[in-house]
Chain A
Amino acid sequence: MNILVSIKQVPDTTNIRINPETGTLVREGVPSIVNPYDVHALALASLLKRLYGAHITVITMGPPQAEEALKEAVEFGADRVILLSDRKFAGADTLATSYTLAEAIKYLAQEAPFDLFLFGKQAIDGDTAQVGPGVARRLGVPLITYAVKLEIIDQEKKEVIVHRKTASGVEVLKVTLPVLITCDKEIADPPFSPLPELIKAAQTKPEIFNAQRPIPYKREKLGLKGSPTRVHRVYTPQLKSAGDILFVSEIGVSEAVEKIIAVLKDRGIL
């Protein structure tokens, strides 16, 4: 099986702080991580490789330091890792991003077509969940989002069953490969990496694709230029004003309880 995984390096948003004086983001010291949902996509690729044997190609688009994310992918058993990196890619919205990724995937598929395309269900920095669906459209392959389980039921006919989470339950879907799947956390747990893979990861130098080589990208479809959306304005959200703050140690538990009951009655809950 030939698997392609697309990952993204993101700032760990749980660690983002706002400078209270300037109201701007403090970026210094914010660690970069592989987007958590992409880690589960990698884990699924790794599991399928162990069960059935597979060749795993991992791509990411980002600045040169996104190389670190690809090294992590090698720890998961990636056989080939590619960094799409060029200043011309910068400032891309989801439409330009899906173009950039899809063109690279089409190029790589010339060597050997892919059976399975794995994405995380969304990236935690943008939370758009739009790039996976966009790439599926551009490749013309069926899309299954929010996947929580994948089983291969017929290796020869390339038939798979995918469980997909919806608002009201879990859909059990049957599809013949190729398919593009966006993965939720339940799809697979990250394995412990064997030592040889850790060593291999440390020594990995990813292949770099830029805007000219090996793919002559259409300039007007890349980066900021190729992005229909524009940031109009950015601002820090205003906090609504706070009410009373009372210390239970001072007012006592029973008064605290009474205060809550009073609110519930006032608001028509009780």
Chain B
Amino acid sequence: MKPLVWVFVEQEEGKVHPVSWELLGKAGELAQELDGVAEALVLGHQVESVAREAISYGADKVYLIDDPVLQYYRNEPYAQGVINLCKKYKPEILLLGATPVGRDLAGSIATSLETGLTADVTGLEIDPKSKNLIMTRPAFGGNIMASIICPNHRPQMSTVRPRTFPLPTKDPSRQAEIIREELGLREEEIRVKRVDFIPKDKVVNLEYAEVIVAGGRGLGKAQGFSLLKELAQLLGGEVGASRAAVDAGWIDYEYQVGQTGKTVRPKVYLALGISGAIQHRVGMQNADFIIAVNTDPKAPIFRIADLGLVGDLYQILPPLIEAIKKERGHGKA
């Protein structure tokens, strides 16, 4: 039997997290090296369209568990569903997004299957000799990179950060089989019940922003972020922050970029008053272009910046905002 490279497809109300398609693209590459197949797991309620979408993103087969119990994500039924599928089909590799859902789920699955799990992976390759999966991740706050293998247990599991791999091209004409499976759990058996959901006013989508205006300790005060927000809005981007700014309480954790925050790869990343500790750099060094403004010429951020400006961000920001407003006005006229 051909080795199976599996991807758990994460969806909320039928809307798929792009990391799942990024992983499906990578799974295709890994499967090729193993002479195997890339397959998708779709769990949810009324999600057949998601199964078809998975095929168009490269799945050679889709396992679909469609059950009202899976209406929204909960650890217990989702873990049970994936564990049952793994026991039945014995995949070689199982990949999940390193998202709140993926991380919640992966630890439960790996423990029940008594296999290894590598978190927050930023690189995947097949060892040409042993055919083991080599999973690379930052360790010790990003100070070192560690390659991890799981030689004697299957599946080899990892959670992978969004934006680690490119989004594959969608091909709606692709055809593949959809296998329907039963969950085998009733609502009464599930111990955690959702009684309410409070949606966020604004979902911060840092991972997929094209421009990020990020601030750090150098802002000196929480109010500094209002200037950054204005600039980000003008550019159609998002605000980001270093851990120092988040720890200071100037901005919410969900804006944090870095090893303990999000991994981003915008077209342009403006690092304002960010010293660029390694733990921050691992989250943003893959930006296409990095502009850094900092008063300290020795700040490590300048070692990776494409354009480094040594100076006071409060001197540069107001005239920059004015200049962009002018440009925008020009464009509209």
Contact = CB atoms under 8 A, between A and B. Distances in A.
B268 A263 contact: yes
Contacts of A109: none
Interface string A141-155: 011111000000000
Nearest to A227: B116
Given A142-B192, A237-B282, A13 B141 contact: yes
A129 interface: yes
Given A234-B145, A242-B302, A243-B306, A257 B316 contact: yes
A174 B75 contact: no
Contact of B104 (A16, A95, A143): A143
Contacts of B138: 237
A65 interface: no
A22 interface: no
B144 A232 contact: no
Contact of A134 (B110, B146, B311): B110
Interface string B184-212: 00000001111111111001000000110
B310 interface: yes
Nearest to A243: B306
A229 B148 contact: yes
B145 A257 contact: no
B307 A268 contact: no
Interface string A226-239: 01111111111101
Contacts of A237: 138, 142, 144-145, 278, 282
A259 B144 CA distance: 34
Nearest to A249: B311
A250 to B, nearest CB: 9
Given A18-B143, A175-B193, A248-B312, A264 B107 contact: no
Interface residues of A, number: 79
A49 to B, nearest CB: 24
Interface string A65-92: 0000000000000000000000000000
B195 A172 contact: yes
Contacts of A249: 310-311
B268 A264 contact: yes
A174 B305 CA distance: 48
Interface stretch (A51-59, A161-169, A192-200, A206-214): A161-169
A174 B235 CA distance: 42
B268 A257 contact: no
Contacts of A138: 111
Given A244-B307, A260-B320, A127 B120 contact: yes
Contact of A171 (B99, B153, B197): B197
B320 A257 contact: yes
Contact of A133 (B108, B302, B305, B307): B108
A221 B234 CA distance: 56
B313 to A, nearest CB: 10
A257 B323 contact: yes
Interface of B: 12, 17, 73, 75-76, 79, 99-101, 103-104, 106-108, 110-112, 114-120, 134, 138-153, 191-200, 203, 210-211, 235-237, 243, 253, 259-260, 267-268, 270, 277-279, 281-282, 285, 288-289, 291, 297, 302-312, 315-316, 319-320, 323-324, 327-328, 331
